[in-house]
Amino acid sequence: MNEPATTEQRVVSFTEMQHGTAADYAMLDGFERTHASGLADRLIGVLERLDDSLGGYQITRLEHSLQSATRARLDGADVDWVVAALLHDIGDELAPYNHSAYAASVLRPYVREEVAWVIEQHGVFQSYYYAHHLDGDRNGRDEFRDHPWFDMCLDFCSRWDQNSFDPDFSIHPLDSFIDDVRTVFARDAWDTEVIAAGPIVLVA
C-alpha cells in the first residue's frame, strides 16, 4: 500500500499510476505547471536549432522562419499570426512528414482557432507550389475549398511562406520576436476567450 505523500515530497509514491494518491497528483500538477511556464523559451531554443537543419535552400530554416514572421509583422498582422509564422516550421526538426500538424498542436491551446487551423493545413496548401514537379498533386488544397478559412491559408502561404526563401530579404532578428513568443505562451492554455475564432481575415 502506498504511503500518503507529504508536502515535502519531491517524487511520487507510486511506480504505477493506478496507485497514485491525490497528494501525488497535486504535486505533479505543480511540476507540470512550472514546466509549461517555460514553453516560450524552449520554443526559442527549437528555432535556434533550425539554423542547422534541412539543407538545400539558399537560406536556413531559421532564416526562413524569421523571414515569414518578418513579412507578417510588416503586413501589420497581430501577435497570433506573427508568432504562428515564426513557428510554422518547427516540426521540421522532429516531425518531417507531418510538420504542419506538429506546429499546430503546439500553438492550438494559445492562439485563435483559425490561426491553428491555417498552420495545421499550410503544408497541403504550400504543396501547390512544388508537388507537380515531384509527380504529386498540387491541388490537394482543393479538399478545403468550401472551408471558411480556405482563403486565409491561401494568403498565408502566398504572402508569408512560399516567398520567404530570399537571401536578400532583410529579416528581423530572432531576439526581436522573443517578447511576442512569451506574450502568446504566457496565456492560460485553452482559454475560451483566447482560442475563439476571430474575423475571417489574415490582417486587418
Q: 87 Cβ partners below 8 Å, 6+ apart?
A: 43, 47, 65, 103, 106, 107, 119, 181
**148 lies in some domain:** yes
Amino acid identity for residue 123 in this structure:
G
Residue 1 clears pLDDT 50, i.e. is over it: no
Residue 59 clears pLDDT 60, i.e. is over it: yes
pLDDT in tens, 135-183: 999 999 999 999 999 999 999 999 999 999 999 999 999 999 999 999 9
The vertex-57 CA angle with 53 and 63, nearest 5°, equals 60
* Cα–Cα distance measured from residue 138 to residue 129, given in angstroms and rounded to the nearest whole number: 7
**51 lies in some domain:** yes
**25 lies in some domain:** no
Q: In the chain, which ranges are continuous DSSP H helix?
A: 22-36, 39-49, 61-74, 79-87, 99-107, 113-126, 150-156, 178-185, 192-195
What average pLDDT does the chain have? 94
Q: 108 Cβ partners below 8 Å, 6+ apart?
A: 116, 195
How many domains, in total, are found in the chain? 1
Q: Which three cell numbers stand for residue 129?
A: 507550389
Q: What CATH number is given to the structural domain containing 86?
A: 1.10.3210.10
* Cα–Cα distance measured from residue 72 to residue 85, given in angstroms and rounded to the nearest whole number: 7
Which residue range(s) make up the domain with 182? 39-195
What separation in angstroms does the CA of 136 have from each of 95, 121, 139? 20, 17, 9
Amino acid identity for residue 105 in this structure:
S
> Please, are residues 90 and 69 in contact by the beta-carbon 8 Å criterion?
no
**132 lies in some domain:** yes
Amino acid identity for residue 161 in this structure:
D
Smallest CA-to-CA distance from 201 within 161, 155, 157 is with 155
Smallest CA-to-CA distance from 112 within 13, 187, 4 is with 187
Model pLDDT, residue 9: 67
530554416: which residue's cell? 61
Mean pLDDT of 188-195: 97
**169 lies in some domain:** yes
pTM: 0.92
Model pLDDT, residue 8: 63
Residue 192 clears pLDDT 60, i.e. is over it: yes
Residue 3 clears pLDDT 60, i.e. is over it: no
**101 lies in some domain:** yes
**17 lies in some domain:** no
> Please, are residues 47 and 145 in contact by the beta-carbon 8 Å criterion?
no
Mean pLDDT of 121-141: 97
**31 lies in some domain:** no
